[in-house]
Structure 1
Amino acid sequence: MDLATEVTPSEAGTILTVDLAAIVANWQTLRVVCGDAECAAVVKADAYGLGLGPVVKALYEAGCKTFFVAHAFEGRAARAIAPDAAIFVLNGMRPNTAPLYADFNLAPVLCSVPEIEDWGQYCAVTGRRTPEGGLLPAAFRLETGLNQLGLKPYDLEHGIHLSHLFDVTLVMTQLARAEHGEAIAKQIEKFEIMRMRLPKARASIANSGAIFLEANPLYDVVRPGYALYGGNPTPGRPNPMKPVVRLESQVIQVRILEPGERVGEDQGWAARGPRRISTISAGTADGIPQSLTKTKNGAGGAAIVQGKRCPYIGGVGMDLVAVDTSDSGYIERGDIVELIGPSITIDDFAAAAGVSGYEILTRLGQRCHRRYQKL
């Protein structure tokens, strides 16, 4: 059962609205920013939790022709929607999975010598070709400083020796976060040297944040992810992206507390005077981090109830969280609460919880009712 599509609004504790038109608009904005570089789309992790199928369909119909996923099964799902797109699988090629890549014309991003050898051997032994009759595609991921996945210079030389067996259409690397400017400069320098060993392959280095870095070469293909989904790729500056998600819940009970009464399983919040609290039908299983009520500065997060910011109190349970609605207008069971939306962006929500926006997006629970807007 796919809860995200089968649960109805009346059954759901939370409703996640995804604006597909905004995702397309964000991709179009990035395409303009990137100039001559092709603007691809990263749709791994179920399109950052928002639904790979609807997101790929919307972007493909808008003209996006290159997609990046993390796993082959995601690539297979994307291929069913985008029959002639280039689809790259970022996490490399697992043992004994080469036929899957060939069957669905997926390009493995080869990150190690064993992967290169496996792909080369498969291509040589089977003689498989693309639907157009060309060599099967692949990409090389170059290790330039993160030390997670990728080819060091000596690995690359071995890969080049076998690269006549398949078509290396792309060389790429992953950059450090934008705040590590000195590290990024060193990465770019290493990448520039290594990529010249495959001069016919297109090059890719820029993710969402790197697109907006000054003096960062965009090369041939850019790989935005977070920015597509409304996250700010320029921290500390106004967000150039349109908001994409809205997360709402309902009040399921309202009660008045006397001074000294406590809230939640951890009993960490006590009323300092008469307070009116509202319990809403959302919790960690819906993607609400426990840290929203336990931030270092004590500020915590807030929800929007009747147009007022109401702080989370008493800890976040699996299914429930309480907010202090004492300063709001009249509240009753069934009222809608904005958790993420026009007043609280993804970045605001993440900052209040002390986590990244990536984590928030991909945590949004499958038991939310997910609805899509196209206009």
Structure 2
Amino acid sequence: MTETLSPPRPTRLTISTEAIVANRRAVAAKCAASVEVAGVVKADGYGTGGPQAAVAMAADGARTFFVAHVGEGIDVRAALTAAGWTQARIFVLNGLLPGTEETLAAHGLAPVLGSLPEIEDWAAFGRDQDLPLPCAIHVDTGMNRHGLSLEEARALAARPDLVAASGADLVMSHLACADEPKHPLNALQLARFKSIRGLFPDISASLANSAGVFLGPEYHFDLVRPGIALYGGAIVSGQPSPMRPVVGLEATILQVRDVPHGESVGYGARQTVRRTSRLAVLSVGYADGFHRTASGADSAPGGSGHLAGHRVPIVGRISMDLLMVDVTDVPGAARGDRVELIGPHVSLQEVAKAMGTIDYEVLTSLGRRYQRVRV
């Protein structure tokens, strides 16, 4: 069944909810039956639609989800409730902003608390409500981004009354280099997290993100938090993704034009055609999240698309709403044809490499001007 999510537009983004569910199952297959597999649906489900992804995974058995912001959590909660999944847990990774306690509680959202002041404020709010409200405690084990220091975690463990009042039902940390399996920081973070886990023996523990799952069962603990793996992204740096692709991107040809040998193409005249060429103008640009770093130039090739069995390289600088591809070798290429920019012939990883970035940024940059089709 195909559901059209927006009016027809010249560029189409296809999202496979079935593939998201299959990818979560593939992650679960790496884990013991006792390990819960959550779904990270922050950044609007990595650009694929966070509420829709959460509902699909809930229907397949997921009961815990992670978002970054309160607003994301409200949207996911509404979608899950409408679909009948009222008991799902939703953790808000970016913590407790002052004054948001009532909003979190009203929508059944659990903040991930990474500082003692946050924990004290959340515990105080719970006392005012005459019951502890759930949360997670984030401990920094080596990323130096978010979370209690090891010393602060030990100080918290020495205050069991505060831990109980906070309602904490998960202690977690985040791996910095899990996509590099041999990086020494992985083992160091694991050892540190084991020591912290021992301070909170009655609370569930979570360390592994997508790549952490693939480091092995000692990293899994009670709950794993796959994100990019759910959406078809690469797991190990520099290696193809073992997951099913989730998104496909096609752009419509607006015009096919002949360009004489020696003429330049696009803003800045960065690329000159080396033969008399037929160029197709596509209705997609950097305003749609197709970054201009994938532009073609005389000094270096850019990205490419696929049309009718042929690679079609991007020529010249990508502009806000348009880009050009070389269709000289594609017989019959015409206005109205659709060029694949992400799909079975042009992987997400290839596009990210052409843009000089990572899968995450490509996915989360995909804009709102696409016709979004969920299949």
TM-score (norm. length: structure 2)? 0.92
Match of 2:234 among 225, 232, 239: 232
Q: Residues of 1 paired with 2:125 and 2:170: CA distance?
A: 19
Q: Residues of 1 paired with 2:299 and 2:347: CA distance?
A: 20
Partner of 1:51: 49
Shift in alpha-carbon separation, 1:294–1:17, aligned structure 2, 3 A: same
Match of 1:335 among 334, 337, 361: 337
Match of 1:13 among 10, 23, 31: 10
Shift in alpha-carbon separation, 1:216–1:291, aligned structure 2, 3 A: farther
Partner of 1:34: 31
Partner of 2:265: 263
Aligned sequence identity (%): 41
Deviation by residue 1:76-115 (Cα, 9 ceiling, x = unmatched):
2222213111111111110011111211221110001110
SS at match of 2:137: strand
Matched to 2:92, the amino acid is V
SS at match of 1:315: coil
Partner of 1:182: 184
Matches for 1:113-192 after TM superposition, within 5 Å:
113-127=116-130, 129=131, 135-160=132-157, 161=159, 162-177=162-177, 178-179=179-180, 181-192=183-194
Partner of 2:310: 308
Q: Report deviation, 1:348.
A: 1.4
Partner of 1:132: none
Matched to 1:240, the amino acid is P
Q: How many residues are treated as equivalent by the alignment?
A: 362
SS at match of 2:344: coil
User: Any unmatched runs of 5+ in structure 1?
Assistant: 130-134
Matched to 1:175, the amino acid is L
Would the aligned equivalents of 1:116 and 1:159 in 2 still touch at CA under 8 Å?
no
Would the aligned equivalents of 1:16 and 1:248 in 2 still touch at CA under 8 Å?
yes
Deviation by residue 1:215-246 (Cα, 9 ceiling, x = unmatched):
75211100001110111213455532111111
Would the aligned equivalents of 2:5 and 2:373 in 1 still touch at CA under 8 Å?
no
SS at match of 1:76: helix
Would the aligned equivalents of 1:295 and 1:353 in 2 still touch at CA under 8 Å?
no
TM-score (norm. length: structure 1)? 0.92
Could you list the runs of 4 or more consecutive aligned residues of structure 1 that deviate by over 6 angstroms after TM superposition?
none
Q: Report deviation, 1:355.
A: 0.4
Q: Report deviation, 1:57.
A: 1.1
Shift in alpha-carbon separation, 1:152–1:296, aligned structure 2, 3 A: farther
Q: Residues of 2 paired with 1:154 and 1:175: CA distance?
A: 19
Bigger mean CA deviation after superposition, 178-187 or 346-355: 178-187
Shift in alpha-carbon separation, 1:90–1:278, aligned structure 2, 3 A: same
2:100 counterpart of 1:97: yes
SS at match of 1:196: helix
Q: Residues of 1 paired with 2:63 and 2:373: CA distance?
A: 25
Q: Residues of 1 paired with 2:272 and 2:244: CA distance?
A: 39
Deviation by residue 1:133-179 (Cα, 9 ceiling, x = unmatched):
xx311111001111111001232244332112132111111111222
Q: Report deviation, 1:297.
A: 8.3
